[in-house]
Amino acid sequence: MNFEGCTLFTVDDGIEYSRLQQFNKSEISDNCLNSRVAWNAGFYYKKVTLADCMCLISNGGIFTTPHVTWPVGPVDPERLKVIVDAIWPVFAQSKWPFRLMYIDEYFLPILREMPGYEAVVSHNPDYSDYFYDAKSLRTLSGKAMRSKRNHINHFVRENPDYEYRNISRDDRKEAMELVKNWCIEKGFDCRNLLQSDYRAIRELFDRFDQLDIRGGSIRTGGRLVAFSLGSLVDDEMAVIHFEKADASIPGLYAAINKMVLEYAFPQARFVNREEDMGIPGLRKSKVSYNPLRMIHKYEAFLQKCD
């Protein structure tokens, strides 16, 4: 892909990406800096700055097809047209359809008002994020959450020596061993990004000092048995990117879910716990926590108007 000024997106672009992202206030988990850094080996994003905005261009990587992410920055219909006009020849030369991805619903009017182009808009519900009331997940109050409280009470009774800690880079070795064991149990290749989040989690630990990563861990008998990694997007919303626990310990997943919000994100009003990818068991688990709503990730295929 040849485009002047287009270079590989890395963690070193994080400060500028985060600054521009404040204009967007995106609710989509994929648009978080930590998520972009964690999964970039699978997308191989290159960045370009146009019209005071930054957007990421992918040849599809191993996950999808060539696309451009929705720009971060002060996007309006005129700026969006400048961006699309500039990138359009690159896609045309490669005979790629112009696919624009990770669009928040409240940006759709800007897309539709952009002059010179028509957009076919859609979203896949399997990749919609689950959006919750954070206080509800901290307290687990009410009849609907009784089973979650029971799971945690069981964990506490059976593991009176448990210890919660905020996550740190020092947890890397034990956390990665936990993920590796999870891969072995599932029969997944931990090196394969299509099968496992091992490499994505490792990337966050490797870049821990360069990113604002928040989360927690639970230990029993001094051994790390669960951890969670997330982002604080703004003063109101947390995003939980990764959560792993020893499945042989009853109630552990419910415990790390609750405790990380209590201690790592005590002031967050809302929490995004990402998508279920159409996996029935994961969907059942996410639905059981009573989401407020779903955050749809819109995409659009663009065509020039005659």
Question: How far is the C-alpha of 28 from the C-alpha of 241, rounded, in Å?
Answer: 12
Q: Which element (helix H / strand E) includes 280? A: helix 280-287
Residue 3 pLDDT: 65
Q: Which element (helix H / strand E) includes 203? A: helix 198-206
- Confidence grade of residue 1 (pLDDT, cut at 50, 70, 90): low
Q: Domain boundaries in the chain?
A: 7-127+297-304, 129-274
pLDDT, mean of residues 72-88: 97
**pLDDT for 43-55, tens place per residue?**
999 999 999 999 9
7-127+297-304 and 129-274 in the same fold: yes
187: Cβ–Cβ under 8 A, 6 or more apart, which residues?
A: none
**CATH number given to 129-274:** 3.40.630.30
Which pTM was predicted? 0.95
Question: How far is the C-alpha of 238 from the C-alpha of 160, rounded, in Å?
Answer: 29
- Confidence grade of residue 235 (pLDDT, cut at 50, 70, 90): confident
With vertex at residue 111, the alpha carbon angle to CA 108 and CA 116, rounded to the nearest 5 degrees, is 155
Question: How far is the C-alpha of 297 from the C-alpha of 214, rounded, in Å?
Answer: 24
**pLDDT for 247-270, tens place per residue?**
999 999 999 999 999 999 999 999
Residue 175 pLDDT: 98
The CA-atom distances, in angstroms, between 285 and each of 130, 153, 280, 289, 295 are 11, 18, 9, 7, 17
CB 273 within 8 A of CB 85: no
pLDDT, mean of residues 160-181: 97
CB 2 within 8 A of CB 181: no
**pLDDT for 192-205, tens place per residue?**
999 999 999 999 99
CB 201 within 8 A of CB 193: no
Domain 7-127+297-304 fold is: Aminopeptidase (3.40.630)
150: Cβ–Cβ under 8 A, 6 or more apart, which residues?
A: none
Task: Say if strands 163-166 and 298-304 run parallel, antiparallel, or are unpaired.
Answer: unpaired
Backbone φ and ψ for 50, nearest 5 degrees, come out as -140, 140
- Tell the residue number behind the tokens 């028509």, with chain if given: 118
